[in-house]
């Protein structure tokens, strides 16, 4: 289901969204809003939906997401004005906003000792769709001579496939949930209790900040890189699709491996290394025009991005009680969408200034390196505090008579 769902949602935006918005006559200052419209629902519903799935079960939420995946693509066929694109993108965003955190919470429950590896395997399945989407989309646009509406028909077919696959959940069952009927007030109270646990956990907040910064950069790269390749370098549709698709090709292999590594050596080192690796290529991209160099830089960036995002869900799920796993995944995805929403909007203003694409990609590197420093300092302080607490405990025990 993840493969078909993310194939559908990604092909609706990469590499078609920026050219389609231009074709509709979108004003330059509104292009960032168009890019971010689908991520706003994640800010609104990811946390509530995932929190409710802790109480009511996961299956029904996965099926609701499947319905949105299947229905949203056909709305693109009726768009005749640029502002309509914003509303369709907004509706389409509810699918991923519900689907991903609920699915990750299910996997975290099923594999408590292998969360890094198994959540990453699911993520890799979705990245198969992410990789195929820009390549298939670019090929369809090439064959149809930029036939945007033909492409969105293909997006609809993939969305229907996701829904049909999701219907298989009716044959299965949820993880055990309480059979005791709860009133609406009891459900709301339990949801807010879970939220308080998460907001009060500083480690969860820092890990979520890392996630937000990674997707801040990824949202910009995914949207503006295709514009840079087409407008500044004038690559063909198919080469543009290959470069942008390579951003997500590496994560298919790297995510399960790095998730497994983090299960064994801990979460801190992969996060720090991944932040650095993802930042450095962004400093170079706007100064390069060679296709093969750009492809290599995109692959390096994709590896760094995959390393960090393979670890953060497992880390956050381990920092909260099992009753709050869904809420923690929802909060993490909310922060992800905050970053992915703000990235294109802020970068749109940078692009419109004299800094242009060089300023856009350099600003992303600064954001990623800054988040890395904050995370490393917090981890160092936490380790120091834990050692100090352990030392005091030893002294107390040694001072007591046998």
Q: Is residue 43 part of a domain?
A: yes
pLDDT the model gives residue 173:
54
Structural domain for 205, as ranges: 2-172+193-397
pLDDT the model gives residue 367:
94
Q: Is residue 347 part of a domain?
A: yes
The answer to whether the beta carbons of residues 121 and 256 sit under 8 Å apart is yes
Report the alpha-carbon distance of residue 135 to residue 316 in Å, rounded. 33
Which domain CATH number covers 327? 1.20.1250.20
Q: Is residue 311 part of a domain?
A: yes
Q: Is residue 59 part of a domain?
A: yes
Q: Structure pTM?
A: 0.73
Q: Is residue 178 part of a domain?
A: no
pLDDT the model gives residue 358:
85
Length of the chain (residues): 402
Alpha carbon of 174 to those of 50, 96, 193: distances in Å?
14, 20, 22
pLDDT in tens, 296-341: 999 999 999 999 998 998 888 888 887 788 888 888 888 887 888 8
Q: Is residue 181 part of a domain?
A: no
The structural domain count of the chain equals 1
The answer to whether the beta carbons of residues 213 and 337 sit under 8 Å apart is no
Neighbours of 100 (CB within 10 A): 27
pLDDT in tens, 12-37: 988 788 888 888 888 887 887 888 78
Q: Is residue 184 part of a domain?
A: no
Residues 6+ apart with CB under 8 A from 397: none
Burial of residue 245 (number of CB atoms within 10 Å: 0-12, 13-18, 19+): buried
Q: Is residue 177 part of a domain?
A: no
User: For the chain (length 402 residues), average pLDDT per consecutive 10?
Assistant: 92 85 86 83 86 84 92 93 93 92 86 84 87 85 84 93 86 53 75 83 90 92 82 79 80 86 86 93 88 91 92 87 84 86 86 83 93 88 64 60 56
pLDDT the model gives residue 79:
92
Go through 24-45 and write b for each residue having 16 or more CB atoms within 10 A of its CB, e for each that does not.
bebeeeebbbbbbbbbbbbbeb
């Amino acid at each position: 289901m993840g493969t078909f769902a993310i194939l559908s949602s990604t092909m609706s935006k990469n590499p078609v969204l920026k050219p389609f918005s231009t074709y509709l006559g979108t004003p330059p200052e509104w292009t960032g809003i168009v890019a971010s419209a689908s991520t706003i629902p994640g800010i609104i519903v990811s946390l509530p939906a995932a929190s409710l799935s802790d109480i009511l079960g996961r299956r029904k939420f996965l099926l609701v997401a499947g319905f949105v995946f299947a229905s949203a693509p056909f709305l693109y066929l009726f768009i005749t004005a640029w502002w309509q694109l914003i509303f369709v993108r907004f509706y389409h965003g509810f699918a991923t906003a519900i689907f991903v955190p609920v699915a990750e919470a299910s996997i975290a429950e099923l594999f408590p000792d292998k969360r890094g590896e198994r959540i990453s395997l699911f993520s890799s399945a979705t990245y198969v769709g992410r990789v195929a989407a820009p390549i298939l989309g670019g090929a369809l646009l090439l064959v149809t001579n930029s036939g945007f509406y033909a492409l969105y028909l293909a997006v609809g077919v993939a969305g229907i496939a996701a829904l049909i696959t999701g219907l298989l959940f009716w044959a299965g069952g949820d993880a055990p949930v309480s059979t005791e009927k709860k009133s609406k007030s009891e459900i709301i109270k339990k949801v807010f209790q879970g939220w308080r646990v998460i907001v009060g956990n500083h480690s969860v907040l820092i890990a979520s900040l890392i996630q937000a910064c990674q997707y801040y950069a990824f949202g910009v790269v995914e949207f503006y890189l295709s514009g840079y390749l087409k407008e500044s370098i004038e690559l063909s549709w198919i080469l543009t699709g290959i470069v942008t698709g390579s951003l997500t090709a590496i994560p298919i292999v790297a995510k399960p491996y790095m998730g497994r590594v983090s299960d064994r050596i801990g979460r801190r080192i992969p996060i720090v290394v991944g932040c650095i690796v993802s930042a450095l290529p962004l400093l170079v991209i706007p100064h390069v025009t060679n296709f093969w160099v750009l492809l290599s830089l995109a692959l390096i960036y994709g590896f760094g991005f995959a390393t960090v995002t393979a670890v953060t869900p497992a880390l956050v799920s381990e920092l909260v009680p099992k009753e709050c796993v869904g809420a923690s995944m929802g909060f993490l995805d909310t922060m992800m969408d905050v970053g992915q929403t703000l990235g294109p909007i802020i970068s749109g203003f940078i692009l419109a200034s004299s800094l242009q694409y060089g300023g856009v990609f350099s600003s992303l590197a600064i954001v990623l390196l800054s988040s890395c420093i904050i995370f490393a300092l917090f981890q160092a302080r936490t380790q120091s505090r834990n050692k100090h607490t352990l030392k005091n405990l030893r002294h107390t025990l040694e001072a007591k008579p046998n």
